[in-house]
Amino acid sequence: MPYAVFVFKARYRVPLMSQSTNPPQSQPISRRTALKFLGVGAAGGLLGYSRFSKPEPAVFVQDSLDLPRMLNNRKTVAVVGAGLAGLACAYELSQRGFAVTLLEKSPQLGGKIASWPIQVGKETFMMEHGFHGFFPQYYNLKSVVEELEITDNFVSLESYAVVFRDGKYQPEVFRPNHSAFPWNIVDLAISSPNRLKWGINMTKPAHWQVFREIGGFQTQKSFARLDNISVADWVKGEFPRGLYDLYFLPFAKSSLNAPDQLSVGELMQFFHFYFFGNPEGLAFNGTRQDMGTSLVQPIARAIESKGGRVLTDVAVSNIHWENDRIDSLSYQSGDVQSKVPFWVKRNAELTDSNSTEYFGAGDSVFAAAPGGKEAISLSCTHQGCTVMK
């Protein structure tokens, strides 16, 4: 017991001594300081989340309208033009029970993504119009590819380069990037060998205006402000030249638009959808073989498997109307070339300031001067499309 009493007293010597030392009291934290700490912590957490979580874009959702997936009564439909849009349209309709007839004037299906065999010596090769890449944002195309179970026909391009022939810039190598804005631009700057040549000077108000358009794109407001300005005019002033040469100009040309014709509103929308506003931007998917083998022919076979007809080398000669609606159409197959082009009627819908007369319609349009004896065919000899004035 004495030993127990001794231990009991020893346990309480520390608090007794601490009472006699009177340590300094902690100072209370003000509400303003606490709010500052909370604000900095929240901002840091938000930046960290946006930088490292790499949020995925919204996934394409099928139309929520309560429409029947299949027809109750079989109906016929004709689709004119077997480019990618026409093929996709005919495929969707055939899957829903329509009796589809797909008409294509060219010998090959596919339009701009057509491929055809050529003979070189004793070997046969597949020829295409050129490189074709599909952005990940092509959600409708991806859904068709998945339905057809041909995803193995495509491969993700881990990188691709834009090369500049004048030697002013090093090649820009683009890779898939899943960082959200603005970190996708930061990642682009870190990886770019030309980052010091962007020409950005934040002391210039005009450069701040450029970044306002990049980071604050709003369809209606941006178009109202920028759609009447061409890209060529926009960059005449104090514009970061390197930024234009390295990114805006190459991708504007990839959309097959000349800078003096493309509006700034269209260009900003292009970049907002494909890069600034979408973490999937700048990635590409390509085909393992030619486009016809990898994509066009599988779609055509799927249409035919549902009883659809796919016809090439045909030209629509007439569209029949009844009660202000298209009732039917006529088409010719085989060689539809005519040695006398002016079997077509004068087209009263086409006029211009020079009073040029136009004959025909669709992809068989001819222009002639009033009273002249010569006419110009407006059909492109490459793919047969109509050349704009």
- Residue 181 phi/psi, 5-degree rounding, is -60, 140
Q: Are 140 and 88 in contact (CB under 8 A)?
A: yes
CA 142 to chain centre: 13
Give residue 325's region: left, alpha or beta (phi > 0; psi -120 to 50). Answer: beta
How far is the C-alpha of 135 from the C-alpha of 139, rounded, in Å? 9
Question: Cβ neighbours of residue 252 under 8 Å, at least 6 residues apart?
Answer: 231, 259, 262, 267, 270
- At residue 164, does pLDDT exceed 80? yes
How far is the C-alpha of 144 from the C-alpha of 150, rounded, in Å? 9
Q: What is the pLDDT of residue 304?
A: 97
C-beta atoms surrounding 130 within 10 Å = 6
Mean pLDDT of 158-177: 85
Angle of helix 264-271 relative to helix 219-226, nearest 10 degrees, comes to 150
How far is the C-alpha of 13 from the C-alpha of 92, rounded, in Å? 87
End-to-end CA distance of the chain: 114
Provide the b/e sequence for 154-174 (b: ≥16 CB within 10 Å). beeeeeeeeeeeeeebeebeb
Q: Are 179 and 191 in contact (CB under 8 A)?
A: no
pTM: 0.66
- At residue 239, does pLDDT exceed 60? yes
- At residue 371, does pLDDT exceed 70? yes
How far is the C-alpha of 351 from the C-alpha of 21, rounded, in Å? 102
Pairing mode, strands 325-333 and 76-80: unpaired
Tokens for 165, please give them. Answer: 């022939």
pLDDT band, very low/low/confident/very high, at 354 (cuts 50, 70, 90)? low
How far is the C-alpha of 294 from the C-alpha of 134, rounded, in Å? 13
pLDDT digits (tens, 9 = 90+) for 64-118: 666 677 888 889 999 999 999 999 999 999 999 999 999 998 889 999 899 988 8
Q: What is the pLDDT of residue 337?
A: 53
DSSP, collapsed to helix, strand or coil, labels residue 386 as strand
